[in-house]
């Protein structure tokens, strides 16, 4: 399935874009998505606690994804 991802903060830099499409097997979970992204963009792994929101809700690693989901990557931000 094709997933649409929106990235914020430094994740936008690492992905090189604010909106990215990624192809994953059916029934993939948030953990699978993170693994796939980290393989393609190893710097993402260094963020350690990259949060993922699915349909405006913070998503645990084991949450299954569907192609209609709105996925947002939320990296830590420190600026003030």
In angstroms, give the least distance from the CB of 59 to other proteins.
9
Distance CA 70, CA 80 (A): 28
Distance CA 55, CA 78 (A): 25
Residue 11 CB partners (closer than 8 Å, separation 6+): 44, 47, 50, 73, 74, 75
Q: In terms of CB distance, is 39 or 58 closer to other proteins?
A: 58
Is residue 8 near other proteins by the rule CB under 8 A?
yes
Is residue 4 near other proteins by the rule CB under 8 A?
no
Sites of contact with other proteins (CB under 8 A): 6, 8-10, 18, 43, 46-49, 51, 53, 56-58, 72, 74-80
């Amino acid at each position: 399935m094709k997933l649409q991802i929106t990235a914020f903060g430094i994740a936008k830099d690492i992905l090189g874009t604010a909106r990215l499409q990624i192809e994953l097997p059916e029934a993939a979970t948030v953990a699978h998505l993170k693994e796939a992204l980290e393989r393609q963009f190893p710097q993402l792994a260094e963020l350690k606690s990259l949060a993922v929101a699915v349909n405006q809700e913070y998503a645990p690693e084991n949450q299954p994804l569907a192609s209609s989901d709105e996925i947002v990557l939320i990296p830590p931000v420190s600026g003030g």
